[in-house]
Structure 1
Amino acid sequence: MRPVPRRRLLAGLLLTPVLSGCFASGGETAGEGSADGSRLRVALAFPPAENLSPYGADATLLSRLGVTESLTALDANGSAAPALAESWTREDDRTWLFTLREATFQDGTDVTPAAVTAALTHATEAKPAPAALAGVTLKAAEADGHQVRVTTEDADPALPLRLSSPGLAILSPKAYGSGGKGGRPDPVGTATGPFELTKLSGTTAATLDRYDDYWGGRAQAPGIDARFISDGTARTNALRTGQADIAEAVPVSQAAALDENTRHETATTRTTSLLLNTEKGPFKDPALRAAAREAVDTSVFAKDVYEGYADPGAGVFGPAVTWAADKRVKPAGRAGAAEPAGTSLTVATYNNRPELPEVAQVLGQQLEKAGFRVKLEVREYARLESDALAGKFDAVVAARNTLLDTGDPVSVLASDYTCDGGYNLARLCDRAVDRAVTEAEGLSDSAKRQRAVMDAEAAILGTDAVVPLVHQQIITGVGTSVRGVVFDPYERTLIGTGTRR
């Protein structure tokens, strides 16, 4: 058992917000039983940013609550598994044929090739495009035999993985109407999952009822009353005081406030890293990047900042990517470290994830001990992202779920570390890295693709553009009467058909 730091325990007990009435249900009274279970009261960390549009950051809120589904899903090994598509075949380099299962949308209409084709077409036309479609052009068309044919402009061996993205959820034609709310599709009563979204109350709450005709079987809970509580202390105390049944993303600082039998840790595919601006400023010099990398002691972050709820950074991909460790390649060609000699730099991070400011503070101390002069910049993520992507900081501390958007590790390397990458916080443009990622992109054999991924990771680490700090565990608070919560390393699912109390 982990020791309980006194400062953490006191914080959990003394900062208890007033939460009375927080989980009053919009339908059945919270806690009221039904013939086969009670409604679930769930405290979520991130409020909707886009009216629960399935195309942006809100997509995972919908999938975690069991509302939306895509053609495919990810299995425990990170491979594509059946979801709304029960099977698929590759017809040629650019064409795949997906056979749909018999299912209905929550508005009572059938999941048909025409409906799926329309949903995928809407996704391709969305502005901005869903993250899973960054740099990808695809077309969907109806085919005989309850099938949908998907064709990509370029060969895409990982298309079944890509189509597992929560951002490519399939909604009924009704969802798109005249463009949906604010030009976005409306997921209220139009998805296919075991729970139907019936009401969204701004950014504070959502009400969901069981969808009894779900193709995968009737859910055991009659519904969900979700509350969006961004403050980690408040989320934790909602569970601790019995006002919530499930609290996601319990901050490390609050873990000690929970009884051990209500605290569940899951290794995730989320890695917290230091990303160095290779385009301009001090870290344009590979020797200073090497000095920064040598200054970092990753064990401190895992042991002290995350209090054991993380693993020391080993690479872009951590222990939750189960095949990575055995295939990891040692980086080669790294520059020798230069003397920092008082070099000034700005390190930025965001406070939406409560551990990150502390990570940045400890990191700043390590860098200053090595001879750098460090200024920290901490903002909300929404106010930081554009400046970080524009390279306005010398370094950024960021947490990234490497398999959240597409399920394909090659895609995250292409997005984050290549010259044309859309989320390249390190501003890295290295020919050897681009070649390695391109080689991995063209492979369809799983074993060969995985080996190529690790070769590409080694090429990236060899530039010292990124210093992996920790591979995070997510702490979920679950009441003792609750069963069947899904502890998903990909952070896509939380509530399933077997979740109940």
Structure 2
Amino acid sequence: MLGAAALLGLAALAAPGQAAAQKLTIAIGGSVTSMDPHFYNASPNNSVTAHFFDKLVEFDAKAQLVPSLAESWRTVSETVWEFKLRAGVKWHDGRDFTAEDVAYTFQRAPNVPNSPGGFGAFVRAVQKVEIIDPLTIRIHTPGPYPMLLGDFASLAIISRHAGEGASTEDYNSGRAVIGTGPYRFVSYAPGNRTLMRRNDTYWGGRPSWAEVDYRVISSPPARTAAILAGDVDIIDAVPSSDIQGLRGEAALKLTSIQGLRVIYLAPDRSRSENPVFVTDNDGKPLATNPFNDLRVRRALTMAIARDALAERVMLGTAQPAGQWLPPGAYSYNDSITPPKQDLEGARKLLAEAGFPNGFRMTLHTPNDRYPNDSRTAQAVAQMWTRIGVQTQVEALPWAAFSARSSRQEFGMRLLGWGSVTGEASYALVNILATQDPARRTGANNQGRYSNPALDALTERAAGTLDDVKREELLRQAIKMAIDDVAIIPLHQLVNTWAVKRSLNHNPRMDERTRAMDVTPGNS
């Protein structure tokens, strides 16, 4: 049934009336930093590379799994999965897609040099790869691992013949961008645009658009101006302040869906001494890192008025968050609610931690990655200043911010994380687990938080086949992380796009903006 549903969905791409479609111009706010699909697990990169590369299985718009390069799968035993690969799939250079390419992908993904936050977590359960025949592959895991499909839905499959010996630079130049996806690479200008053309022999049906111009317009006002002027066909991350005005534009329409992304703050836990961007009130260095004190972390989260952020900064386009999943998601913990602001309680905790007069710090934030990211940081800084933590904000373009953050150059940073699997483990493994390249955990743990008890609980949940029991373990893990203030969740985003009224757009919970989700339509 899954296969039939998927084929019906793919057939819609080639529906009558779409053959005449020519060029689609997309503008997103987040900067695309690489064409290497294994370099950096960030939504803008994943959105673009999804045009060129397919996965074994995919998440649909509502985070449900559907077949892709794998037509079907079954469990041979508790520790062996068998995947039947789709026949007749061709790489962009005409060669056949086979199980050898899947095996090579699993080998390459966790070993990309200089990756600021890669994809190793998604193959951490792959203990052995067994190729049965060119279209059959078996994956051996060290123990029961029910989340394998979700992991594989986050991992682009690359070709062995194009990938062997290829560096990230070879992907950025286009030389190695030989995929099985619906579009073929034309050119890439970092921080500017990616051009692509239709893959007329795509296994999933002829794509809607002959050409796609995928632009980065980091400035929200400029993005809005571009859609109003008709220079682009669709924009993502519509500024909250522009939503009402755009609703009144006859030539445009808005699409939206509850997102899976939490905006959060991550303190630096990589240092016990000589913290960066943190000083006493006279500007003198602190001997020890205050963020390693639970009382300080609790004070900081208690000082934040999340309702005010959602209502005044986000103008109703976000919901206050006390954890990283939205209500209703599998493993969401109903017992954890967004903390209420308690300035007096926060001051008391700071005094108990040895900071009766607070301290000074810098909050680093991107200014072009998430809706109202720098405005959110400014509001938080004001709230922290009210409890004596004199906070200034330094806002940077995403490309510079992400590189510096991955090198632990910040004391406190604002980040976002989309749990595209729709459950807790995606964040537990990638941003909260102890960074350990050998175990392939913590790839995006930029604050270097480490809690062995949480790691053990996450592993226990990952090996629990029973859905009810696994959900309870994940809920326990959420509570453990939040009680320890591993991160400071602020709010959950509602994803909103503006699109020309003559087009149809299927909005995605994972916030990705793709040509495949836009089709010609009636106004």
TM-score (ref. length: structure 2): 0.78
Report the AA paired with residue 206 of structure 2: R
- Alignment-derived partner of residue 438 in structure 2: none
Aligned residue for 2:427? 412
> Structure 2 unaligned runs (5+)?
1-16, 273-288, 338-344, 436-441
1:228-268 CA-to-partner distances (Å, cap 9, x unmatched) read 32222222211111111111222334434523552223221
2:506 to 486, 492, 495: 486
Asked whether the equivalents of residues 454 and 480 of structure 2 are also in contact (C-alpha less than 8 Å), the reply is yes
> Is the Cα–Cα contact under 8 Å of residues 377 and 414 in structure 2 kept in the other structure?
yes
Asked whether 1:170 is paired with 2:157, we answer: yes
Match of 2:301, as an amino acid? R
Q: 1:173 to 1:419 in 2, by over 3 A?
A: closer
Q: Structure 1 pair 112/364, CA: closer, same or farther in 2 (3 Å)?
A: same
Aligned with residue 417 of structure 2, among 400, 408, 411: 400
Match of 1:100 in 2: 85
Q: CA deviation at 1:132?
A: 2.8
Q: Which of 292, 295, 301 lines up with 1:293 in the alignment?
A: 301
1:377 aligns with 2:365: no
SS of alignment partner, residue 472 of structure 1: strand
Partner of 1:342: 357
Q: CA offsets, 1:50-85, max 9 Å, x none? A: 3x1111236413345x33211111245645321110
The percent of aligned pairs where both chains have the same amino acid is 24
Secondary structure at 2:496's aligned position in 1?
strand
Aligned with residue 483 of structure 2, among 458, 462, 466: 462
2:118 to 131, 150, 173: 131
For residues 18 and 145 of structure 2, what CA distance do their matches in structure 1 show? Answer: 47
**Hey, what's the Cα distance between the residues in 1 that align with 2:46 and 2:507?**
14
User: Which residue does the alignment assign to 2:472?
Assistant: 451
Q: Deviations over 1:78-104 (max 9, x none)?
A: 453211101112334543211111222
Quick one: structure 1 residues 386 and 455, their matched pair in 2 at CA, closer, same or farther if it must change by over 3 Å? same
**How many angstroms apart in 1 are the aligned matches of 2:425 and 2:389?**
34
Cα deviation, 1:331-362, whole Å, max 9, x if unaligned, reads: 9xx99834463211422222233612211111
The residue matched to 1:424 in structure 2 has which SS? coil
Work out whether residues 31 and 216 of structure 2, in 8 Å CA contact, stay in contact via their aligned partners in 1.
yes
Q: Give the match for residue 18 of structure 1.
A: none
User: 1:300 & 1:316 partners in 2: Cα distance?
Assistant: 19
| 4+ long deviations beyond 6 Å | none
Q: Is the 8 A contact 2:234 2:498 kept in 1?
A: yes
Deviations 1:5-49 (A, max 9, x none): xxxxxxxxxxxxxxxxxxxxxxxxxxxx98532321212334432
Give 1:55's aligned residue.
38
**Residues 331 and 423 of structure 2 are in contact (CA less than 8 Å); yes or no, is this contact kept in structure 1?**
no
* Partner in structure 1 of residue 147 of structure 2: 158
Q: Return closer, same or farther for 1:454/1:75 CA change in 2, 3 Å cut-off.
A: farther
Task: State the alpha-carbon separation in 2 of the partners of residues 447 and 282 from structure 1.
Answer: 39
Amino acid at match of 1:116: V
- CA offset digits 1:437-490 (Å, max 9, x no partner): 23222223333322222210111111123221110122211011111x231111
Give the Cα separation in 1 of the matches to 2:163 and 2:502: 39
Residues 366 and 311 (structure 1 numbering): CA distance in 2 closer, same or farther, change over 3 Å?
same
Is structure 2 residue 18 aligned with structure 1 residue 42?
no
- What is the SS of the residue equivalent to 2:509? coil
Q: Structure 2: how far apart are the matches of 1:411 and 1:34?
A: 37
For the Cα contact (< 8 Å) 2:31–2:398, is it kept in 1? no
- What's the Cα RMSD here? 3.2
The 5-angstrom pairing of residues 308-323 of structure 1 reads 308-319=316-327, 322-323=329-330
Unaligned runs of 5+ in 1: 1-32
In structure 2, C-alpha distance between the alignment counterparts of 1:209 and 1:184, rounded to whole Å: 17
Q: Secondary structure at the match of 2:450?
A: coil
Corresponding residue for residue 197 of structure 1: 185
Question: Per the alignment, in what secondary structure is the counterpart of residue 520 of structure 2?
Answer: coil
Amino acid at match of 2:483: G
The answer on whether the counterparts of 1:436 and 1:456 sit within 8 Å (CA) in structure 2 is yes
TM-fit CA distance, 1:145: 7.0
CA contact (8 A) 1:162 1:408 kept: no
